[in-house]
Structure formats: structure tokens, C-alpha cells
Structure 1
Amino acid sequence: MLRLSLPLLATLLAVGTSSVPFVSSQAEELPATAWHDGALRTDPAGLVSRSDLVQKGPAWRAYQAMPLGNGVLGAAVWAEKGYTAQLNRVDTFPELKSAGRLVVPGLQPLMRAADYTGRLAMYDGQVVQHGGGMSARSYVRADADQFVLEVTGADPGTTQTADLKLWEGRTPTAAATGAVAALAETFRDAASGSLTGAVAAMTARARDVSASVIDPLTVRITFRPNADGSFRLVVGVPSYQGGDVAKAARRAVAESRSEHLDWWHAFWAKAAPLRITSADGTGEYVETLRTLQLYTMAASMRSPVPSTHGGVVRMFSSAKDQADWAQDSYWHFNLRMLISSNLGAGIGEFNAPYFRFYLDRAELMKKWTHDHWIGAQGTCLPEFLRYDGTGDGCDNMSEPGWVKRILSSGPELVNNIWWQYRYTGDRALLDRAYPLIRDIAEFHLTALTPGEDGYLHLEHVNALEVQWDTDDPAPDLAAMRVIFPIVADLAAARGDSELAARLRTAVGKLPPFRTVQRGGEEVIAWSGTDEEAHNTQNPEMEVLWPWGLFDESSELMQATYRQRVYPQDKDWGMDTTWAARLGLADEVKRLLLKGIEDFQIFPNGFTVHRTGREPVRQQSFYNEWGGVLTTGLQEALVQSYDDVVDVAPAWPREWDVAGSVEIEGGHRISTEVRDGVVSLVGIEAGSRESLQVRNPWAGQEVRVVDSRGRTLVGPSTDEVITVPVLANHSYVVERVAVPLSSFEHVPLTGQAATEVKTVGSRMLGVPASEPPVLSDLVTVRTPDKLSNLVKAQPGAEIYVDRSYTITDLPASLTGEAMVPGSNDDSKRTGPADYITLDLTAPATVYVAFDPRGENDWWPTWLNDYTRTGETVGTTDQRLLLFARDVPAGQLALGANSAVEGKGNSSYITFITPR
């Protein structure tokens, strides 16, 4: 069966949030639609701007950073030290180390202005900020590997600096010639011998520009703004494998005519629009997350390799070189939701890095299979594949493990290639991929073992990461049922009748899905055996998505969903899509909102891997939840995986929606749903085909008209109607009682967001907050992570890596400068200069210590301080206060503990004038 696995989004809108009745009369306002002259008429600029991330105050913390990128070069922008942007390339393997941080102190007046405003303006691919008569516009050029900062309103007479810096452990080459400063570094991979690297070169379009090397990890540009108060910083970050750094730097900052805005505007004009409105704001919040997902794909997926590693999108990192998981490798399981979401959103071209990655390594994977899987023919595609083509997965010569012997990844690649072809018509991809498709099918044929029961069994393999060394995993049985017929047809068309025959024979000999009792109901089992669980996936639900072998009419599948063992346990869970395919609209909404609460802890829309995490403690931005959410929305609005186009089969009644989504065949389906009622269905056909469309108004008369108003089908009350379509023609499925002619045409648009969006405890955007203290008395020389002074007051956060806050403190300390602690260093021992302060005048230094360390792990340097008898209350622990009068100059404070392996909460420090 050829299934149209269709992610699809809605279309026709009435602008505004009020509910408009569909049945019109002369006394009533006409219902509105954006469908006009054969297409959904939209204003992409207005519609996308609804989802801008608003900054009511600057993003002072790194976890609040806003993402920018061109698919190869990424940046995270926040307000630390006036202005900070971390730059990351997608290809500096094996560890994807950052190219450095740009710091511009001269933007402090803008950030600290009372009238500050900012936003991530996704339609333009820019971060835009205003305040104090200044403006800053940041972007990564869509057409060049350059980060650009454009500033207006600066004082023309004040000299400015801009630093590019790296951190301890890095070994760059620092260079400064004329007006260009650069840091360059290469990385040799010991395993493969490959050489990667980047040069970060900086210059300014301003007056009196000069470059200098500050230290081995820092270079600086010094300049004066232009006479009109403007200046422009350009940081070029091309790939670099060694050679003349100065020459590479000059090339890196050379500018051509920018087509940045044209590229982004063209992207949004092509992407399928979607607008959601609701009384409680949850619909708008979900809409923003979906828009962010499209933006993230455009900003991160344009290189020869995918940008996501284990769900982490490293190119937007603000966390120096830290990242979860192995950044030199890819888990297929964490990529698949991005593929489906892109197809439904009409941006399938951003799946190209995924396909290139595997196709470019086809021969390496085939050799690995030959060397590591006894008796294999063809290619096993490993679940875990390193960038150099080596994989830890396809191996039956060693003990099973997390990713060893997961065989369903290869069939998923085949299915995704087929989807891509069906959605986009990309015959070149299908032709290039056929040898790998053939080899994956060949491997699975040879991996099957005939059983005494007459079936072909898959033995000693994994059911995803859940069961190890099991038989007949549900995902694998489903995968072979789906791809064997597809590959057989492809093989036959290419003259390989022998392979086609073997595949068709094998399909008929695959065993049925095993069932078990769970929660008092009969459900599909994970596999043919009962091995213990190692991870929290639901292998049995894979038969519904991605494989589409059941639908909402299956009571077995409904029960299997109800009794799944791990309901949406991680950000990778496709529960919303499963609920959508089962027609469970309330579940779709519940799961989306629960996922937001569980995973979306960052105000830039990125997520974490599992529940119970705090943003200040997490340093990796995950983006797989965006693909999960987008795919779920699309499947809730339109489905076609079972050969029937079904509009709004699981759309939450409380969310009004208007928009479009692509389905297989390259067709764009548009609709509007208000109060649970579909207005009409618009079809922009991408190919010649007969579409089966379910009547969205059961029992009512419908008809199909073309763009000239001619009736092609109906009137009919049939449950499913056949719509013959031609490429580049458009059609409307309408109710006879409420035809398109009774609608008022209103384009799909919107107003730019002006507020931070919230759902429960989660937010999108940055609220106003207390800025770091600028003190004339004290600065923190080291460590860098504690260098932002905090105003001591109730509610102030006491640690840079925890969310604990002050509840009460002595009046003498209120409003003074506080050096926050790092609770990750609570057991740190060692150097006496853990913190180094520079004091411009005599001061009193207070340290607040955890009383649990007295006579146990308190450090000896604390003996130089006098117990005051006062305490500082925090949401973590009440701390004892010690004081010391010190002269101007440099002061060192030691580590938190004197005993290896011991230590509770870290100390915090206050400084007052004396």
C-alpha cells in the first residue's frame, strides 16, 4: 500500500481573535477566509512577527541567548559585559569547539537604558535592540559565514573596543594586522586523522580602527564610531585547516553585497503558514514554538552534515565548549522528527544535510557491516554513526548494548528518502540513494532466519534502546512490512527482478505482531520476547508512527497507546503524533502543554532532554522537541498516511487555526478551523493525482470547485470523495450550504508580538530583570564565570548554576555588590586564589558560609575572617556571615572546602565600602 504519511497544517484565516460564525445571513457578518484566487493569501512579515521573541529586558544570562545562523555558522547573542555573541561552526569536528566569543562593552548604555526593547525578529533573521538613543542589529549573513553587528547612536567621540576571546584549554593562533584581528585553531581527530578548524577574524567599519593581541586567548579591535554615531563589526568565521592566518583573516572579513534579507524573506514566503488563536493564549504559544522550529531549521540545516547531535543543536551554544553527548556523532533516533516536520511545513530542502550525511558514507557503512556483522550482505545503517563513517551499532560479534544491533534505523532512512521523493519529486535523490536503499534491504533479507513455524524471524537484535538481544522487535517487523514493497517496486523498475521477488516473498513470511496483556488490555508487545527495559522508549508505538500500519479504528492500537509504559518520558517522544493518528484531540493538546512544562525551560524556545531541569544548570540547547511538536500539530490538522486526506481529525477544539501544510505528492492543503468546525479545504496541487478526501462535514453535501468556479465533483454526501487534481492547479472542497462565495476575503496576517509569552511556569522571550552591578569599588578578575556582580537583595540569585535566591539579609548588605557562588564548585579544594578581586578603595569583604561545614570541611583561609553573628537566608540554606576589612588592591579568596570530596553549599561574597 502506498501511504501518504502526511504532516499538514491549516490554512484559511479570519484575522483577529474573535469567533466568527460560518453560516452567514444578511443580518450577520460574513465569515472570513484567506483563500482567494486559488491560493492562501498571506502576509508573511506580519504573520511571522506574531512569533517574535520579545525582550522586555536584556538577556543578561547565557541561557537566555537568542539564536542566529545560516546553516553553517551559528551565534548565540546575549547582554553579558555589555554585549556578547558566541560563534560556533557546525563542522569543527570532533568536538565542535566554538570559534570564540565577541564582547563589546560599549553597548552597556543601550542594554541598561530604561527604555530598552529587543526582539528576535525571525522574518529578518536578526536580533534587534534599542535603548538610550542607541540601536543594535545582529545577524549571521544568510549568504556568507559572517556575523555582523550594526550599531547606531553611539557617542562619536568615545573610543570603543571589541574583543574576540577563547578560554582555558584552547590553543589558538592569535594575530593582529592593521584593522583585522583573528583567532585561528585547527583540530586533528586521532581516530580518523581528519583536520578541521575555524578562523574567527574581526574588523570594524568605523574610524581609527586598529587591531591588537591582548593575550594568547584574546584579540581586540579598537575604534571610534563614525561621525554619525554608527559602526559595524564584521566577524568572519570560515573553515580553516591551517596556513597564513593573516591572509585567511583578511579574506574572512571581506564583504560583498548582502542578500541576507532577501534570503530570509524568500524562505518565509515558501514555508507553510500557520496561525493559532485561543482564549487562554496557549494556542499562540504553540504557534510560536512551531515558527521557532521552522526558523531553527533554516538557521541550522544548510551544511553537508546535520546540526543536531543527540538532540543538541551545538551551533547555537552559549556555553563555551560544553555540550551533552558525543558531538562527533549522530543518533538517527534524534533526527527523524526533524525530517517529518520539515516535510509538512513545506521546507523539505532542509532535510538535505541528513540525506547527504548518510549517502556520503554509504561505502564506509557497507564495509563496516561486512567487517562486523557475521553473515551479512548489503549494508546495516547504524543507529549511532560518527562523522567519519564509523558506527557503534551494526555489530553481532560483540555483546549487545545501547545502540548495538538496532536495525530499524536503516529502514527509516529508506522510508524518509521515499517520503522526500513523494513530497518534493526529487528524482535525483531517489536515483542517487537507490544503491544504498538496495543494500539496506539486502541486509535485512540476509538477517532473517527461517523458523519452524514457517515465518522469517529477526533474532538477537535490539528493540530500539529498550530491549537488548531480543527477537522480532515491533519496529523492525513494521519497517520491513513497509519498505520491502517500496524497494521491490524500485528494484523491478531498474530491472532487478530477482531482488524484487525475494522482497515480496519475504513480506508474506514475516510473523504477526505479538500481543500481551498490559493494564487489563490486550496490546502490541515490544518484541517477541520479554527482556527487561534499558531505556524509556515505546517500541510498540512505532507501528503507528513512523510506519502507519494502524489507524484510529484499531481498538488494539488504541489500547496499546493507553497502556504504553513510558508516556512522553523524554523530549524525543512522539506521543502527540500517536495521539493525533488515533483521533485524540484532547490528548494532543494535553501532551503539547505538558511537553512545554516538562522540557521547554529556555526562554529562546529550546528544550532539555528530560524533566526536572533548571535553565541555570543546563548548558545544552536541545531542538528535537520542536520537531516533535511541529509533527504532532501537522498530523492533528491534516493526515493522509492511510491514503485518505483527513482535515482536522484531532485538532483541539479550543484552538482556532488557519494555515497550510504540504502532503505527499507536493500538494499544499489549506484550511481554517474555528470552534472545532472546518470552514473549507483549499488544495494547491503539486502533481497529477486522484486525492481521496474525507468529508470534513459528515453527512453534509459538499462539492469540489476549481479556481474558475467550475464544479468538478458533487454535490455529494459520501464519506470520502475522489478529487482528480492537476499539477499547479487549485481546488476548493466546500459545503454546498456555505460556499466560498459567501466568505469575505481577509489575508492571513498578524501584528508583531509586544509581550513575553507565558504558559504556566514557562516563557518565550526575556522579561525585564535586575542587571549585573557596575561597581566603582570592585571587579572580579577570576574566575570569569563569577565576574557578573549581583545586587544583594531578597530575590537575587546566589549562584550562577542554581536557582536559589536570597530570602533575607542584614540591612547593611542590602543593595551592595555580591559575587555569586558556583555550587558546582562546592567540593572544590586547592588554590588559594579561587576568586581574585580588584578593589579600588578600602572595603569590607563578607563571605557567607554553609554552617554544615564547621569543624568538618571549612577551609583554613576562613580563619582570616571574623564571624559577625549575622546570617543570610536563602531558599537553599541559611548561611553564616563572616567579615574582613581589607585595603585597596588585589584580594584572593580560596576554594569552598578544605577536605577532598566534602562540601555542601558554596559560599557567596559581599563587598561594601569602608
Structure 2
Amino acid sequence: MPVGRWTLPILITLLATSAGSVAAAGPIPQTEPSPTTAWHDGALRTGPAGLVGRSDLVQEGPAWRAYQAMPLGNGVLGAAVWAEKGFSAQLNRVDTFPDLESAGRLVVPGLDPLMRAADYKGRLALYDGQLVQSGGGMSARSYVRADADQFVLEVTGADPGKTQTADLKLWPGRTPTTSAAGAVAALAETFKDDASGGVAGAVAAVTARARDVSASVVDPLTVRLTFRPNRDGSFRLVVGVPSYKGGDVKTAARHAVVEAHSNHLAWWHDFWAKAAPMRITSADGTGEYVENLRTLQLYTMAASMRGPVPSTHGAVVRMFSSSQDQADWDQDAYWHFNLRMLVSANLGADIGDLNAPYFDFYLDQAAAMKEWTSTHWTGARGICVPEFLRYDGTADGCDNTSEPNYTTRILSSGAELVNNIWQQYRYTGDRALLNRSYPLMREVADFYLSALTPGEDGYLHLEHVNALEVQWDTNDPTPDLAGMRVIFPIVADLASARGDDAFAGQLREAVGKLPPFRTVQRGGEEVLAWSGTDEEAHNTQNPEMEALWPWGLFDETSALMQATFRQRVYPQDKDWGMDATWAARLGQSDEVKRLLLKGIADFQIYPNGFTVHRPGQEAVRNHSFYNEWGGVVTTGLQEALVQSYDGVVDVAPAWPSDWDVSGAVQIEGGHRISTEVKDGVPNLVGIEAGSKDTLRVRNPWPGQQVRVIDEHGRAVVAPTTADVLTVPVAAHASYVVERVAVPLSSFRFVPLTGAPANAVKTVGNRMLGVPASEPPLASDLVSVRTPEKLSNLVKAQTGAPIYVDRSYTITDLPAQLAGQALVPGANDDSKSTGPVDYITLELSQPATVYVAFDPRGEGDWWPEWLSSFTRTGETVGTTDQRLILFKRDVPAGQLALGANSGIVDKGNSTYLTFVTSR
């Protein structure tokens, strides 16, 4: 029901006069402002466009660097968009296995005037799933269609008489088939997986809705469209990127760019209307920042998790890559540990349908996993779910026939998968998924039964297995003991319901024979142990904390768990750390805030909100966008606002007191719990029931008299001061938990909305959005033909970056170089001894070329080609190293410069190149 259907006076009148309504409390003194609520007509009412717009990524200046790229996607096709060469968009599919190679990069030079305009404005508009940019009388709107594998760029304000080009290009090492036919240009490539024999690939085909469109092949890696804008200055580029496994490229390309009616905006608006809202405000701006990260995570899930397989590989979301084909970890495989926080975050945000790729992937590989288990785990029955599982079902895990390593003997991934299936059913009511999954759930439980060994102490033990990646050959890992305690009863009940009483009996008997959790002394306190033994650590996870989340076997009342949290060995040193969720479950609101802000400082190095794996990294040096921290943030915020894992709905159990919040969280049963918290105190608690149920709700105002009314104002729970309320709910009905002294009728209705962001957001030295920066230098004198990574010229001046892969800058330089063209170096090539044409310059007129070399190489690794230059006696100061300057006068034409080093495996900082006219 839309906001405003009832006016406030009518609402108050109805609440006051409905049959069976409870008596209202005394009026609030008129001298005090009326408290407000967004709860109206049975729901927390929002204006999604304004609320979501608060988290838009504002570009105060263009994203000149690839690491600043903005993500667009439809769950199968992703794009990273930035301003290099005027306009660049790298296109990536979720399924080009085994290495997830990009389909190519779209480059539109004619948008350079827009990007360089003094009045440039840009934003990633999350509500619309679009990147919108304007400047110099031009506008550009780009998006990946929500309903088709097509990237679209719509431009207005272009010069109708000026010819434009649009290139699709790949890079050295790729071997595409090129095609140019009429108004369609295309690249196509297939990839054969030697391990599985599978073939995958993609076509990238571009056409233009413009005048005089023609396609051509530029070189083996590049195709081009040439066209003129329409007479009104508009043009539209459509790049279709379908899956491709071979065949006629021209036909595939022609089909790829056919456009049907677009439901793009409708899809995104429907998505945001369904997602559970959350607005956070604070005096220091940190609340708004974490709200933005949560909204960005929901956006990322909608833009990346709608395909046949998950989009995250080792936490890298390859669909949004802007770094050609470079990526961390194995892009053909999945680590379960890096997916689990995405599943939990989606459930709490009521976007659980986006977990489908996760479930489909494991269910589709059930037969392969069973075969793997039978051949790689001696004595096993059932299915062991490998922690590391390749897209084709082969694994590096669940293997006791080889030496233990990081993943070979992790068993708890299977227990988590079973629990996630069960939670998905409980949150969404998806019985079809549960029925489809039961055979797998049974097989996982049976594997555990087969792996347990009776001990002389009367307990059943797991022996020679992993405690996550921390301990490689231990007994009774805490994650597995906790997992079996949770999933055995679940699977037993499902088995009984299917008439499999014998198996159910085995599971119930086994639960009673699992050993107790081992404890040890750490930091002078008794704490949970990682496992039953004390093997050394190989990674920095905290296996003992798994008993709290995901398994929920302890709560804030456990002194043992509180001590275990205080004494955990590896407090949040990787972006996978669920420390904020653990703090929330332990009721530690200050720690929730501290840990989230610490994680932002440690991991969130990219202005698009993506992160890196560990602290101390620089955006310019990394090649991968990680998104598991977004799942960590989202899960932590949702658990801090509403918890229900222990069977009691607890509102704001760990919400930081200096973050005010209005929001909702989905819980088991499909119920949405809403509240608004100011200064640490909720105003009301709304319940939108997803099913017939009886909820146990903790009194949000301990000791105060509360009651529960339904959507008609009728009493469901009479006034009480009980600590826990028992609330019967009917499916699709709504209820309010209110204080008797401050009833719903005393609140003034104000919908939950906001205004789109208008500036870059910052917390410390981290930011969301792109600040204005110096554009690449446009030079009539020099251009870089090769390599492409060095082709963006820099204006030589104090503060200018000197490398494309480091953050060092110029501190001082000779006067004749100020304002001149600088060809930055690539410090990753500091030991390069490659060809003499490492850099090829194109000079339009005679010039003086300067090179600045690291003095540590003199008499050692300086290359032979440097002898053709003359030492000037001057130096260039940088934040890295003071460099010695050489020069050489050269004629117009091409000039080749060699690699940095003349000695194999030697070299320090890479040289810089300056060009001046003469």
C-alpha cells in the first residue's frame, strides 16, 4: 500500500476507535515535539528512491583510474566503467570458465570532452542501476540491462557533425575471432578447460543507434564502429555479450545486439521495494557510511548473483573487474568460507532469492561430490562437501588419502551448506528447495556418521581432520562438533517426516554421544579451544568462535563465550572475519561499531566500496575487487538490530547508542521485524508476519509495561512487564509492540526516505565516491603507442603520480619539466630486461626526452640503452626515491626506449620519462 493512502488524522482516529482497541495512554505534553515513526498501515513505510539514493556513489570528478571503476551488472553480465580514453567499460561474464576471461573493453574517445568539462557531474544511481554522467553540454547514461545480457550507453549533446568511434578491444595474450559486418562489429573467443574438457566463451558485439554506422576490424585484437550522432546530438551504443561456444560469429553478433522492450528500471525498482530498508544517522557521519556499505552490498548482490553459479571466487567478484584478465586466487573454483556471509546477509535483507546460484551450484554438483567422496575419503559414506570446489565438481578437499593441507580435510563446509538450506527454507518458505535438497542433506549427515569413531571414553570422535584452515590434522574441531549438534536434529526430523525412522534414530543417538567442547586457558581465562588437540596454526581464522556464529549454540549470557571472544587469537585481520557479528550476538554494541569502522580502515581501499583481503594494501597495486566484507558488514548490522537465532526475537540487542537507525530485518518464518532506534532506545517494534506462528519477543524496554496490538488496533498481548512476550501471529498480518505509556497513536507519521547523495563520503582516509582529480594530460607532442598500461600521460608537477601501480608522487623537479608530459612507469617492471622497445613513443615534432633513473642501479643494473642519453646533473624528487635525470634530443617520429634493467633479476625503482618540445 503506498505511503499516504491514509492521512495521519484518519489513522489516529481509526486506532483510537477500532472495536476492541486498547485504551490510549495519557497525552504527551504539548511543549514537547511529537515523536515520529515511519510505521504506518501495518508496515515500515519508505520512499525507496530517496532512501537508496542516499548511498549513490557520487563522482565529483571522473574515475580516471581503473581501480575507481563503477560496477554495473545483471547477475550474469557485469561491467566496470571508468573514464580512461574518454569512456571505458570492461565487460565480464560470470561463466567464461576456467579463468573467467573478460569479453573485452569498450572504448569511446568521443566522451573525453564530457569527462574534462568544468561542470562534470557523475553518480552511480543505485535505485536505477545506472551510471549517469554529464558535463560540457553532454550526458552519458550507461547500464547493463536487468533483463538482457547487453551493456547500453546512451549519449546526448554530442556534435551531430563530428564522426565518433567505438572500439571493442582485447589485449596481448588473447586470440579472439574478429567480425565486422554492416553496422555490427564483434570479438568472440572460446576457452577449453583441459581438466574437464568443457568449452565456454563469449561474444562481445557492438552496434550504434546513430547515422552512417559502419564496422571494421582494426587489428587482431580490436574492432571498431564509426558513426555520426543523430541530428539531435544523441546516439546509443548497444554491446551484446551472450555466452558463446563456437559457430558463426557474424550470426551470433547480429543476434546479440537485437533489442527487445526493456524492463530495466522496473526490475531495479521492484528489487529495492522488496529489500529490507535501513537508514542510519550519526553526528560523526560513520552511521551514514556503514548504511551506504550495506546498501552497496545489496546492490552488488542484485547485480552479480542471478546466474547459474555464484559470482564470488575466493571473495573476488570477477564480474566487475577493470584489470583485464588479472585476478587473485583460482577463478574456476569456490571456497565455501568466502560465500557464507553473503548467504546470511541476503536472508536478513529479505533478498534470499539471490542465494539461488549458491544452492544451485552445490546441488548441481551433488553426484560429483559423492563420487569424489567415495574415491578420496577412505571408509566414507554419503557426501563430503569440499571447502574448495571447482566449477566442474572436482575438488581440493575432502581427501584423507593425501597429506593434510589448508583445505583437504575441512568437513564443516557440508554442515554449513545443510544449515544454510534449512535457514533458506525457514526464512523464505521455499519447500521446493528443501525437497530438492533433502537427499544432499541426508548424504552430508551420513558422511559425518561414517567419519565418527567410537572412543574409549564413550564419545564419538572426528579424527585427523581440519579445524577450518587453521589446524590441518586435529581431532574434534569445534566447528564440526557445533555443526553436528545443529544439523543432526534437523536432518533427523526431515528423515522422520519421510518415513526414514532408522536413519533419524542414528542421528539422534549420535548427537548424545558427541564429546563436549574442549576448553583451554588463554590470556588467563578459560575459553573454547579450536579443537581437541593443539596443532599449530596455519591460517588466521578463529574456529572456536564458530560455535557462536554460524552455529548459535551460545548467547550473550555465556561467560565462557564472552571470554573466548576477548581472547580470540586472530581478531579481524582478514576481510572474512565475522567479529562484528560475534560482538552483536554477545551484546557488545561498542565493539560492533569499533570493528566495523576498523574493517573499513583496514580493507575498504576502493572508492566503489569494494575491499581487499588484508590490511596494508594500496588500491593502485591490486587487481581484484573483493566483496565478502560487504557481507560481513551487512550481517553484522542486521544482527545488531534484530536477532532471533536462539528462538527469541531481540530488538536492538547490540545497536551502537550513537547511531540512530530506522530499519527492518527479515527473520525465520518469513517475518519482517521493523524498528526505529534513537539514542539506543527503540520507539516501536513492528511485525509483518510471513506465516502463522507464535513468536517469542523480548521486551525492548525492560521493566516497562508493554502490549501488542494488531493492524486494526486490537490487543493481541495485554499490558505486561514480562521479559519475554508470547505473540501469536497470522500469516500476512501485522502487529506493533508498543509501550503502554507511549502508544503508536502518539506518534506522528513520517515516511522513511532521504535525498540522493551529493558528495563523496569519507571515514578517516577511506571514501565512497570519486573526488575530483587531475585528468590525464592531453598532449599534441607525444603519445604512447605501447605498452597500453603506460598510455595515460601525466602533467609533471608536484604531487603528480609517477607510477601506474604505486602511489608514489613527485616532490620536486627541474623547472624545465614543470607542466610537461610525464610517461609514468610501472614499478612491477623494475626488474624487466625485456625488448628494446619496452616503451614506444610517437612524437609529432622534434623533442627532448628525459629519463629519470634510480641511482641504486649505477654501475650495477642500469641498462645499456641508457648510454645514448646524457646526464643532466639534475634530479627528480619523489616520495619513493630521488632519481637521476638524463636527456636526449630526438627527431619527430617513433622512439623506442628499453626496459628498466640490464641485469636479470636486478632492478629497483622503475624509470620515469618526460617529453618537452625543442
Alignment of 1:610-759 (within 5 A): 610-759=614-763
Matched position secondary structure for 1:876: coil
| Aligned counterpart, 2:496 | 492
Structure 1, residues 704-727: CA drift from partner, whole Å, max 9, x if none? 001111111120000001110001
Match of 2:321 in 1: 317
1:45 aligns with 2:49: yes
Question: Which residue of structure 2 lines up, in the alignment, with residue 250 of structure 1?
Answer: 254
Matched, 1:878 2:882: yes
C-alpha distance after superposition, 1:707-756 (max 9, x if no partner): 11111112000000111000100000000000001100000000010000
Matching of residue 274 in structure 1 with residue 274 in structure 2: no
Partners of 1:672 and 1:105 lie apart in 2 by 48
Are 2:428 and 1:428 aligned? no
Deviation at 1:27, TM superposition (A): 1.3
One-letter amino acid matched to 2:38: A
TM-score after normalising by structure 1: 0.97
**Does 2:840 correspond to 1:836?**
yes
Instruction: Indicate if the aligned counterparts of 1:474 and 1:540 stay in contact, CA closer than 8 A.
Output: yes
Give the Cα–Cα distance (whole angstroms) in 2 for the partners of residues 712 and 468 of structure 1.
54
Give the counterpart of 2:334 among 330, 335, 355: 330
**Quick one: distance in 2 between partners of 1:802 and 1:785?**
13
Residue 813 (structure 2) aligns with: 809
| Whole-angstrom distance in 2 between the partners of 1:126 and 1:783 | 32
- State the shift of 1:391 in Å: 1.0
**Which of the numbers 345, 362, 375 marks the counterpart of 1:371?**
375
Amino acid at match of 2:505: A
SS of corresponding position for 1:715? strand
Residues in 2 aligned to 1:141 and 1:752: alpha-carbon distance in whole angstroms: 22
Instruction: Find the counterpart in structure 1 of residue 799 from structure 2.
Output: 795
Residues 398, 81 of structure 1: alpha-carbon distance in 2 compared, 3 angstrom cutoff: same
**Could you tell me which residue of structure 1 aligns to residue 782 of structure 2?**
778
Question: Does structure 1 residue 445 correspond to structure 2 residue 449?
Answer: yes
Matched AA of 1:810: P
What is the number of equivalent residue pairs in this alignment? Answer: 894
Task: Name the SS of the counterpart of 1:665 in structure 2.
Answer: helix
Q: Deviations over 1:23-46 (max 9, x none)?
A: 942112111110011111110000
User: Aligned pair 1:191/2:192, yes or no?
Assistant: no
| Structure 1 unpaired stretches of 5+ | 1-13, 15-21
Cα distance in 2, alignment partners of residues 101 and 557 from structure 1: 51
Partner of 1:895: 899
In structure 2, the partner of 1:224 is 228
User: In the alignment, is the contact (CA less than 8 A) between 1:600 and 1:762 conserved in 2?
Assistant: yes
The match for 2:916 is 912
Q: Partner residue of 1:851?
A: 855
Q: 3-state SS of the aligned residue for 1:81?
A: coil
- Alpha-carbon distance between aligned partners in 2 of 1:52 and 1:714, rounded to the nearest angstrom: 44
> Does the residue aligned with 2:486 lie in a helix, a strand or coil?
helix
Q: Distance in 1 between matches of 2:161 and 2:343?
A: 52
In structure 2, what is the Cα distance between the partners aligned to 1:870 and 1:170? Answer: 42
Q: Does 2:214 match 1:206? A: no
Equivalent residues in 2 for 1:358-437 (5 A)?
A: 358-437=362-441
Q: In the alignment, is residue 461 of structure 1 matched against residue 503 of structure 2?
A: no
Secondary structure in 2 matching 1:442: helix
Counterpart in the other structure of 2:58: 54
**Is 2:633 aligned against 1:590?**
no
Q: Which amino acid aligns with 2:807?
A: S
With over 3 angstroms needed to count, the CA separation of the structure-2 counterparts of 1:464 and 1:295, relative to structure 1, is same
Please name the residue that 1:113 is paired with.
117
- Say if 2:186 is the partner of 1:177: no
TM-score (norm. length: structure 2): 0.97
Deviation at 1:443, TM superposition (A): 0.4
The one-letter amino acid of 2:833's match is T
**Paired position in structure 2 for 1:9:** none
Encode CA deviations 1:759-812: one digit per residue, 9 max, x unaligned: 001000000000000100000000000000000001101000000000111111
Q: 1:883 and 1:742, CA in 2 relative to 1: closer, same or farther beyond 3 A? A: same
Which amino acid in 1 is paired with 2:159? Answer: D
The question of whether the paired residues in 2 share the 8 Å contact of 1:101 and 1:164 is answered with yes
Kindly state the Cα deviation for residue 146 of structure 1 after the two structures are TM-superposed. Answer: 0.1
Relative contact order higher in (CA < 8 Å, ≥ 6 apart): 1
- Residues 23, 31 of structure 1: 8 Å contact kept: no
Aligned partner of 2:4 in structure 1 is: none
2:828 matches 1:821: no
4+ residue segments displaced more than 4 Å: none
Displacement of 1:188 in angstroms is 0.6
One-letter identity of the residue aligned with 2:610 = F
Deviations 1:410-432 (CA, angstroms, capped at 9, x unpaired): 01000000000000000000000
Give the alignment's Cα RMSD to 1 decimal: 0.9
Is 2:500 the counterpart of 1:516? no
Q: Deviations over 1:627-682 (max 9, x none)?
A: 00000000000100110000000000110000111000000000000011110100
Secondary structure at the aligned position of 1:82 is classed as coil
Asked whether the 8 Å contact 1:181–1:221 carries over to 2, the reply is: yes
Which of the numbers 457, 475, 483 marks the counterpart of 1:479? 483
Contact 1:835 1:894 in 2 (8 A): yes
Please give the secondary structure, in 1, of the residue aligned with 2:801: coil
Counterpart of 1:60, as a letter, is W
- Alignment equivalent of 2:571, drawn from 564, 567, 571: 567
Are 1:24 and 1:31, in contact at CA under 8 Å, matched by a contact in 2? no
In 2, Cα distance between the equivalents of 1:184 and 1:492? 53
| 3-state SS in 2 of match to 1:905 | coil
Secondary structure, in 3 states, of the residue corresponding to 1:337?
Answer: helix
Residues 806-839 of structure 1, C-alpha deviation per residue, up to 9 Å, x if partnerless? Answer: 0111111111110000000000002110000000
User: What is the CA–CA distance in structure 1 between the aligned matches of 2:643 and 2:716, rounded to whole Å?
Assistant: 23
User: Structure 2 counterpart of 1:250, which letter?
Assistant: R
CA contact (8 A) 1:94 1:189 kept: yes
Distance 1:505 1:34 in 2: 50
Amino acid at match of 2:469: E
* CA distance in 2 between partners of 1:601 and 1:584 (Å): 27
**CA deviation vs aligned residue, 1:421-449 (integer Å, no higher than 9, x gap):** 00000000000000000000000001000
- CA distance in 2 between counterparts of 1:29 and 1:879 reads 66
CA distance in 1 between partners of 2:892 and 2:396 (Å): 58
Per the alignment, residue 140 of structure 2 pairs with 136
Specify the SS of the correspondent of 1:721: strand
Matched letter for residue 195 of structure 2: A
- Separation in 1, partners of 2:813, 2:594: 42
The answer for the alignment partner of 1:760 in structure 2 is 764
* Cα offsets for 1:523-582 (capped at 9, x unmatched): 000000000000000000000000000000000000000000000010000000000000
Aligned residue type for 1:334: N
Contact 1:116/1:130 (CA < 8 Å) preserved in 2? yes
Instruction: Classify the secondary structure of the residue corresponding to 1:219.
Output: strand
Q: Percent identity over the alignment?
A: 80
